[in-house]
Amino acid sequence: MSRGSARASWEAEMWRPTLRAALRAGGAGVGGCRNAGSDSGKAGSRVSAELIEHLERLALVDFRNREGVERLRAAIEFADRLRAVDTTGVAPMESVLEDRCLYLRADRVVEGNCVEDLLQNSRQTVEEYFVAPPGNITLPKQSEQDPVTQN
Amino acid sequence: MAAPVLRGARAVRCWSLGVGPRRTRALFAESVSGRGSRRSSAAAREPRPGAHEWAAVVGLEIHTQISSNSKLFSGSQVTFLAPPNSLVSFFDASLPGTLPVLNKRCVEAAVMTGLALNCTVNKKSLFDRKHYFYADLPAGYQITQQRLPIAVNGSLTYNLGGGTHWSPSATKTVRIKQIQLEQDSGKSLHDDTRSQTLIDLNRAGVGLMEVVMEPDMSCGDEAATAVRELQLILRTLGTSQANMAEGQLRVDANISVHHPGEPFGVRTEVKNLNSIRFLAKAIDYEIKRQIEELQNGGKILNETRAFDEKLGCTVSMRDKEGKQDYRFMPEPNLPPLILYDAESLPVAADPQQVVNIDWIRERLPELPSVTRQRLVEQYGILPEHSFALLNEDGLLEFFQNVVKETRTEPKKVIGWILTTFLGYLKQQNLAVSESPISPSLLAELLNLLDRKAISVPAAQQVFEELWHNKGKTPGQIIREKKLELLQNQEELEEICQAVLDKHPQEVTAVKKGNQKVVNKLIGLVRRATQGRADPGRIKQILEKQLQ
């Protein structure tokens, strides 16, 4: 199984060409990262505005400002150091628990029946149901958002 | 595997019973729809080989609820109909600090199902998280098996003729891509008036098996038959009750059309199908819709559609923007699932902690396809009959109990079971378990018939009487209604002679050579005996007396 499967495919697409070039040049860090966040949509930029928007929709996080985006870029750079190790022909580790035994539970009913405790956590309930808005509310597009988050 | 060829928008029937393309062409020689032909004659059209032929491709994703006492990763109860949120543990509500603990029964159920579908059971499989946001998924992700599922590469064989015109050539196979374990989500009740959704997490975390069928099917009939066969297999194994109406079996269909020889077209996904009948209808409609759309120069969008039962059509369901990115990642709280077989079984293992594939394989019950074959050999009945016996819950057992208690040949019993008994059940929409007639009663009746104590029409009368008046035995009814066959030879001869005496013209006609009049005389004798004489015997006696 390829290394890319456990990591987001967008990452593999964006980083690999330039990273390899940087590594060949002998640099441990990623050379082209200096302008991270300041170019939106430019080809080859590290963390584009589209990427930020995509991540914000997927994970419902708010990068909020340039500092947040920079922190993201730094985190990606940190993780990318893994690529410095040559893993050709080595099977990937799927889990740090891989040599543990997966415990199998007997099929007995031992939990449940605590509706009052659970409903305590919800601000709004209707007759023992949790209340949610009707369907997912779509996020506004990037252009409609606070200009501070745009770079 | 070549998909049958469909000619135009009208040709939605499956030509799967050995009808070749040549015959198809002859049947659908005319151009398709008015709009289409006008269009094609107006625009310049380059004649491509097979340009008027369409092939449809149908793949299925089936989710079945595992029949178990507790949920997949928690100890909450699994049952139908309970007060909202009463079968929910802290883990099911995804409160922080809770962890998943795998249910052994669910693993065994998946292994059994995999073996029954000829799959390779992976001795190592992995759990992943599939992320998306929806109110009935409190964790924001579903634990599933995307990278390495528990079973792969199986097959399911089904027969299109079924209980009406079974034939060996109508046997088809669909490949099973994989079977994976995953969690079910909770239930959302949409309250549009108050613009809110009510969430019940009773179903959240219940174990599901997702069975992915490759796109080897080509129409609604094939898909419906395959699903029906899967249902029977699951019920036989006991791994799922597979009741579509109760949501224990959910089917999503992926449908696309293309010209034979060209690559597959864009596919749509049809969801919200809650019966096998609607599954077939929805698929056939969608195939027709796609063909019409493409013939009119339109495009098929890769979208999700729902089936509107009342209108009998599929409607677009798109409320999400673009393709979902589920951000699959390994489930960090669960080590790989390791299964063993007889060879790899660890020596000093705790049996509770070990799932042995060979042990499970040895204990698999007899599968429907094997049962059908066995019944044909054991009872000398036709394949259609054994198919019909398995198709109705409890019917096989009923049949076998009747056969046990009667001397009548199974071949004759099957007629009574499939025509008379099943007919009465269907008329009043009853299940076999609700039948007012027990196997013993029917056996008793058939014994009387076999001994020639009553005639066949009389037996039908007795059956009707037994059905509507519980508590009476066949013997009682026969005595009450005086339905016994007249056995006394002398008495019969007397009656026959009396009839002959009363109808001298007919006697003369027979003596002159008119054989048809004999039937009239038989009818008269029957009436005189109030239906209590065997027509064969009457004929014998009359023929003797007429000489």
pLDDT, tens digit, 9 for 90 and up, residues B331-379: 999 999 999 999 998 888 888 999 999 999 999 999 999 999 999 999 8
Residues B61 and B166 in one domain: yes
Phi (first) and psi of residue B426, to 5 degrees = -70, -35
pLDDT of residue A38: 39
- A128–B85 CB contact, under 8 Å: yes
Among B445, B462, B481, residue at a domain's last position: B481
Q: Are B17 and B170 in contact (CB under 8 A)?
A: yes
Sheet holding B141-144, edge to edge: B141-144, B128-131, B329-330
Residues B112 and B200 in one domain: yes
Instruction: Please report whether residue B350 resides in a domain.
Output: no
Nearest Cα residue in chain A from B194: A134
Residues B139 and B220 in one domain: yes
Q: Tell me the shortest Cα–Cα distance from A22 to chain B, in angstroms.
A: 28
Mean pLDDT of B191-218: 94
- Burial zone of A126 (CB within 10 Å; 0-12 exposed, 13-18 middle, 19+ buried): middle
Helices (H) and strands (E) in chain A, counts: 4, 3
Position B485 pLDDT exceeds 80? no
Mean pLDDT of A45-58: 80
Of B220, B147, B155, B157, nearest to B182 by C-alpha is B147
Residues B75 and B219 in one domain: yes
Preferred mutation among A57, A116, A118 to probe B, highest tally of B CBs within 10 A: A118
Instruction: Please report whether residue B267 resides in a domain.
Output: yes
Q: Looking at B160-291, which runs of residues are DSSP E strands?
A: 171-183, 187-191, 196-200, 207-217, 249-258, 268-273
Of B449, B402, B338, nearest to B104 by C-alpha is B338
Instruction: Please report whether residue B335 resides in a domain.
Output: no
pLDDT of residue B318: 66
ipTM: 0.75
Q: What percent of chain B has pLDDT over 90?
A: 47
Nearest Cα residue in chain A from B198: A131
Nearest Cα residue in chain A from B94: A118
pLDDT of residue B1: 41
- A109–B76 CB contact, under 8 Å: yes
pLDDT tens digits for range B141-168: 999 999 999 999 999 999 987 666 777 7
Residues B195 and B234 in one domain: yes
Residues of A in contact with B320 (CB under 8 A): 136
Mean pLDDT of B249-277: 91
Of B272, B270, B327, B269, nearest to B129 by C-alpha is B327
Of B508, B455, B515, nearest to B482 by C-alpha is B455
Residues B476 and B536 in one domain: no
- B135–A132 CB contact, under 8 Å: yes
Residues B170 and B285 in one domain: yes
Position A76 pLDDT exceeds 70? yes
Q: Tell me the shortest Cα–Cα distance from B107 to chain A, in angstroms.
A: 9
Position B47 pLDDT exceeds 60? no
pLDDT of residue B240: 96
**How many residues are listed for chain A in this entry?**
151
Position A41 pLDDT exceeds 70? no
What's the whole-model pTM score?
A: 0.77
Of B36, B181, B168, nearest to B106 by C-alpha is B181
Strand partners, B391: none
Residues B473 and B496 in one domain: no
Q: What is the residue range of B542's domain?
A: 489-546
Q: How far apart are CA B185 and CA B131, in angstroms?
A: 12
Q: Given B101, B329, B335, which is nearest A98 (Cβ)?
A: B335
Instruction: Please report whether residue B425 resides in a domain.
Output: yes
Contacts of A94 (CB under 8 A, 6+ apart): A6, B126, B147, B330, B336
Among B275, B304, B330, residue at a domain's last position: B330
Residues B300 and B177 in one domain: yes
pLDDT of residue A17: 43
Mean pLDDT of B7-25: 38
Q: How far apart are CA B94 and CA B186, in angstroms?
A: 12
Residues B531 and B452 in one domain: no
pLDDT of residue B490: 79
- A109–B192 CB contact, under 8 Å: no
- B85–A100 CB contact, under 8 Å: no
Among B429, B457, B481, residue at a domain's last position: B481
Q: Given B70, B131, B335, which is nearest A101 (Cβ)?
A: B335
- What the block records as the tokens of B397 is 């057992």
Residues B303 and B403 in one domain: no
pLDDT of residue B358: 95
Instruction: Please report whether residue B22 resides in a domain.
Output: no
| Cα first-last separation, chain A | 37
- Burial zone of B275 (CB within 10 Å; 0-12 exposed, 13-18 middle, 19+ buried): middle
State the total domains in chain B: 3
A88 to each of A2, A13, A84, B217, how far by Cα in Å?
9, 19, 12, 40
pLDDT tens digits for range A83-102: 898 989 998 887 888 888 89
Phi (first) and psi of residue B242, to 5 degrees = 50, 40
Instruction: Please report whether residue B178 resides in a domain.
Output: yes
- B330–A128 CB contact, under 8 Å: no
Q: What is the CATH number of the domain that holds B531?
A: 1.10.10.410
- What the block records as the tokens of B436 is 């007012």
- What the block records as the tokens of B354 is 């070990």
What mean pLDDT value characterizes chain B? 84
Q: Tell me the shortest Cα–Cα distance from A83 to chain B, in angstroms.
A: 19
Residues of B in contact with A103 (CB under 8 A): 101-102, 353
Residues B185 and B251 in one domain: yes
Of B279, B259, B278, nearest to B59 by C-alpha is B279
Q: How far apart are CA A43 and CA B232, in angstroms?
A: 56
